[in-house]
């Protein structure tokens, strides 16, 4: 899987439960991992890591909560309306990576879901 990471990257639209926060990301949902922060762990939330340059927030800029941050806690932004974790910057706001909530990708564009199915072995 590490040999050719670009091959599994797909383009996805993510949306929070209420649809306020929407974003575009190029990522590999199959590479999701449990979020390590205290808030998410109990919820079984999984995140997908992507390059910062492959992420674009489309709507909801003004509806995001303040990031939660701590020594072992990735930055997280939550939708202020539905409270769902949307995305975060694991290495800080100026970092090179973004981690998105895997669950949001499931509500993405149907075409993107089809792409995922085609990619499956």
Contact footprint for Zn ion (CB under 5 A): 16, 18, 20, 35, 37, 40, 79, 81-82
Q: Distance between the two ends of the chain, CA-based, in angstroms? A: 12
**Kind plus residue range of the DSSP H or E element containing 68:** strand 68-70
* CA-to-CA dists, residue 22 to 14, 51, 106, 120, angstroms: 5, 17, 12, 25
> Minimum Å distance from CB 112 to Zn ion?
19
> Which residues in 87-106 are b (16+ Cβ under 10 Å) and which e?
bbbbeeeeeebbbbbbbbbe
> Minimum Å distance from CB 89 to Zn ion?
12
> Minimum Å distance from CB 18 to Zn ion?
4
Q: Given the complex with Zn ion, which of 16 and 100 has the nearer CB atom?
A: 16
Q: Given the complex with Zn ion, which of 31 and 119 has the nearer CB atom?
A: 31
Q: Given the complex with Zn ion, which of 109 and 119 has the nearer CB atom?
A: 109
Q: Given the complex with Zn ion, which of 18 and 112 has the nearer CB atom?
A: 18
Phi, psi of 34 (to 5 degrees): -65, 140
> Minimum Å distance from CB 4 to Zn ion?
29
């Amino acid at each position: 899987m590490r040999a050719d990471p670009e091959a599994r990257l797909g383009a996805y639209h993510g949306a929070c439960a209420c649809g306020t926060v929407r974003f575009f990301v190029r990522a590999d949902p199959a590479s999701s991992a449990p979020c390590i922060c205290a808030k998410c762990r109990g919820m079984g939330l999984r995140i997908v890591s992507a390059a910062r340059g492959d992420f674009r927030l489309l709507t909801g800029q003004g509806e995001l909560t303040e990031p939660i941050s701590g020594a072992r806690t990735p930055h997280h932004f939550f939708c202020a309306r539905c409270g769902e974790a949307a995305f975060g910057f694991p290495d800080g706001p100026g970092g090179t990576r973004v981690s998105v909530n895997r669950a949001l990708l499931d509500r993405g564009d149907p075409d993107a879901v089809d792409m995922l199915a085609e990619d499956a072995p």
